Amino acid sequence: MPNTPTTRILDAATNRATEGLRVVEDYARFALDDAHLTQLAKNLRHDLATACAGLSQQDRHASRETQQDVGTTLTTPAESKREGPWEVCLASLERTKQSLRSLEEYSKIDSPKLSAQFESLRYQLYTLERTLTITQTSRLRLSNVRLCILIDGQHSLESFKQLIANLLDARVGMIQLRDKTLADRELLMRAQLLRSMFPRHKDAPLILINDRPDIAAIADADGVHLGQDDMNVKNARSIVGPRKLIGISTHTIQQARTAVLDGANYLGAGPTFPSSTKPFDKFPGLDYLQQLADEISLPTFAIGGIDAENLEQVLATGTTRVAVSGAANEAKQLLKQLTEPSAPADGQPPLQ
């Protein structure tokens, strides 16, 4: 005969976990409008339902006693108030984690195999929680960043200073230093100069270093941008720390999905059009931008041959951020097109 107290615990934990995951899924679906994260939450909820089917529903329901449950009237002031949708999601993530732990521990009494399934689901939830948090914070942090200008180190320090001076009044949201020819010492010198000329304040552009998390960390840049063949996000994060931005270049929807789960703060997507600064054999093009806009809400910068003439085609896909190098002299015009009222909306509903 099943142990009634244990069965009641398993029943309550099952209810809390499944309810909590539905709340999380609703946030990914309706607040983030993110098809990828919604699918991940949905898959986890269905896997939980499959695992819970190993617990006798008849026994759970027969043991349930809500009318005389001492816990139904116990509450705290914090439980009755939420500041916004994100706080609702966070509370439900916590509730689900705790419930999965309870399911894991109490199912050990009669079903160690089932306990292992709950443990696996708990670790999957940790990953989903991290991904949701990074998506939420990255969207807020990059909410006003529409244009990234890619620059190289120039042939001299003086010409580099002049290049930066020319960007001072452009009001771009992000500057990425990308130069594979400079010696490390020279690259670091330029990264430090860039940081000193754009000290942190609310209107200053974010400073990113291409490929080199070590240079980014030493220069106290705002982050690093990585390609598909560069260091992975995990190792880069160990160098730059938890608060720096990490961007990932992607060329396929699968690479984008992987980058989201790996913990990237934003995506680079392209190449969109042929570019004079970097040759490519294949062009994911506008179709890829459309895929990303339809599925992933993590901030995404379209890159590759984008200029004032073809920007409207990019915006038509729902993509609202671009990165340019060859068209850097068009920064003001690009920004006007990206931010003027007639431009498409961000595609990302306001977050609270």
Q: Helices 285-295 and 35-52: crossing angle, nearest 10°?
A: 50
Are residues 169 and 45 located together in one domain of the fold? Answer: no
- When divided into structural domains, the chain yields a total of 2
Last residue of a domain, one of 139, 161, 178: 139
User: 């001072």: which residue's tokens?
Assistant: 168
| Within a domain: 127 | yes
- Shared-domain flag, residues 165 and 310: yes
Whole-angstrom Cα distance, residue 218 to residue 200? 16
Tokens of 85: 């949708």
pLDDT in tens, the chain (352 residues): 466 889 988 999 999 999 999 999 999 999 999 999 999 999 999 999 999 999 988 887 777 776 666 555 656 666 667 789 999 999 999 999 999 999 999 999 989 999 999 999 999 999 999 999 999 999 999 999 999 999 999 989 999 998 888 887 778 899 999 999 999 999 999 999 999 988 888 778 999 999 999 999 999 999 999 999 999 999 999 999 999 999 999 999 999 999 999 999 999 999 999 876 666 667 899 999 999 999 999 999 999 999 999 999 999 999 999 999 866 778 888 988 998 755 555 545 444 4
What is the distance, to the nearest Å, from the Cα of residue 331 to the centroid of all Cα atoms in its chain? Answer: 26
Ordered DSSP codes for 176-208: EE--SSS-HHHHHHHHHHHHHHS-SSTTSPEEE
Backbone angles phi, psi at 245, to 5 degrees: -80, 140
pLDDT for 68? 62
What Rg do the C-alpha atoms of the chain give, in angstroms?
Answer: 24
Given this model, what pLDDT does residue 165 score?
A: 84
For residue 346, is it within any domain? no
Residues 16 and 87 in one domain: yes
- Is the domain of 212 the same as that of 264? yes
Q: How many whole angstroms separate alpha carbon 248 and alpha carbon 265?
A: 8
Closest CA to 17 of 92, 70, 84: 92
Query: Would you state the pLDDT for residue 352?
Result: 40
Q: For the purposes of burial, counting CB atoms within 10 Å of the CB of 40, is it exposed (0-12), middle (13-18) or buried (19 or more)?
A: buried
Question: Minimal CA–CA distance to 100: which of 37, 23, 14?
Answer: 14
Q: Can you give the CATH number for the domain in which 293 is found?
A: 3.20.20.70
Q: What are phi and psi of 298, to 5 degrees?
A: -60, 140
Asked which of 139, 164, 198 is the last residue of a domain, the reply is 139
Two structure tokens written together for 146: 């529409």
151 SS3 class: strand
Which residue, 120, 139, 158, sits at the end of a domain?
Answer: 139
Residues 239 and 304 occupy one common structural domain: yes
Q: In the 8-state DSSP scheme, what is residue 227?
A: -
In this predicted structure, what is the pLDDT of residue 1?
40
| 87 in a structural domain | yes
- Shared domain for 237 and 310, answered yes or no, is yes
Task: Tell me, yes or no, whether 52 lies in a domain.
Answer: yes
| Parallel/antiparallel/unpaired status of strands 300-303 and 223-226 | unpaired
Q: Assess whether 72 and 158 both reside in one domain.
A: no
Same domain, yes or no, for 119 and 153? no
Q: What pLDDT, on a 0 to 100 scale, did the predictor assign at position 333?
A: 87
If asked whether residues 135 and 50 sit together in one domain, one would say yes
Q: Which residues pair with 269 in a beta bridge?
A: 250, 302
Q: Please check whether residues 101 and 232 belong to one and the same domain.
A: no
199 and 50 part of one domain: no
Q: Which domain holds residue 58?
A: 4-139
